[in-house]
Structure 1
């Protein structure tokens, strides 16, 4: 009888330790907890329009210009972020056409964006890196509830995109880079 109880306890202990090993060691991910992963987005939306400010670098990459863009209104913030990123990719010469927004994570007022590694071919100096970052940050912080942006590359935290600007912390909107056009 003692042998059976010992075997049962040993089996339960093995199963429990295997579960925790798999959950916390094998599947360990450095992305913050309680985040929402977005990969597939429902594209069935109502056809109402909304205006949003998009920040695009000028031709000399010295400041950001505001463009008012009309997007199809959608309550899903994730869908809106992907649409805005696609607009930036098509209209910002610092974005590679192969650039991809892979995933987003949202935690309270913080947005984590995971981009592909394709941006590097277009950025050649510190000013271009600054304009690339704040084109994204200033635009996405226009969305209600988002105040801070963290850029991940290929799902990894990075110290810098191209070696010029510290990307290890969250970015907030920088109004000093914006040139108001009349």
Structure 2
């Protein structure tokens, strides 16, 4: 009995080690991931062109821009990559101050997309023109494809109080 148990454990460990080697080989060949300054960038991956909206200098309209994101495998993956790209651009152009805004989750209900951010997104939870234009940058960019009609921005899984407590529809008038 002990001999059969020993052989069983040896076979299991051999399988686990072999699986780990195959996974490691596959993972290192498929794409190279480098991490710099808390930013993750994927080299040698396919890109897709997307349209995003960014407030103009006077905060009176949104300007349409073409940019690229990594090719997405699903609607959720595309929404995550697009949202992260919008946040990156808005941060780069100083419409968002916080460097620590994290997108925790994205989920859908009918034609509504819910974005669950870390508490740092609360900087947009006031009624200033800058905050509203920044929110509509996110909304118009995500609703560009027509798959979604509304966007709801959540803070740690809960509603905000002012701007972040609402559902937003695409606004082409700005």
The bucket for the TM-score relative to the shorter chain is 0.5 to 0.7
TM-score, with normalisation over the residues of structure 2? Answer: 0.64
SS across alignment from 2:169:
coil
**Structure 1 runs, 4 residues or longer, greater than 6 Å off:** none
- The one-character-per-residue Cα deviations of 1:30-72 (angstroms, maximum 9, x if unpaired) are xxxxxxxxxxxxxx9x954432110111223222111111223
Tell me which of the two structures has the higher relative contact order, counting C-alpha pairs closer than 8 angstroms and 6 or more residues apart: 1
What is the match of residue 166 of structure 2?
Answer: 169
Instruction: Work out the CA distance in 2 between the residues paired with 1:169 and 1:124.
Output: 12
What is the match of residue 83 of structure 1?
Answer: 81
Change over 3 Å in CA distance of 1:170–1:106 after alignment to 2: same
Instruction: Work out the CA distance in 2 between the residues paired with 1:67 and 1:109.
Output: 24
Instruction: Work out the CA distance in 2 between the residues paired with 1:119 and 1:59.
Output: 21
SS across alignment from 2:53:
strand
TM-score, with normalisation over the residues of structure 1? Answer: 0.61
Instruction: Work out the CA distance in 2 between the residues paired with 1:134 and 1:72.
Output: 23
- Tell me the CA shift for residue 133 of structure 1: 1.0
SS across alignment from 1:69:
strand
TM alignment of 1:119-130, pairs within 5 A: 119-121=121-123, 126-130=128-132
Instruction: Work out the CA distance in 1 between the residues paired with 2:52 and 2:99.
Output: 18
- 1:94, 1:123 within 8 Å by CA — same for their partners in 2? no
Structure 2 unmatched runs, 5+: 1-41
RMSD: 2.4
What is the match of residue 60 of structure 2?
Answer: 62
- Tell me the CA shift for residue 119 of structure 1: 3.0
Higher strand share: 2
- The one-character-per-residue Cα deviations of 1:108-153 (angstroms, maximum 9, x if unpaired) are 1111111112134477761011112101100111234211111111
How many residues in Structure 1 have an aligned counterpart in Structure 2?
Answer: 128
Higher helix share: 2
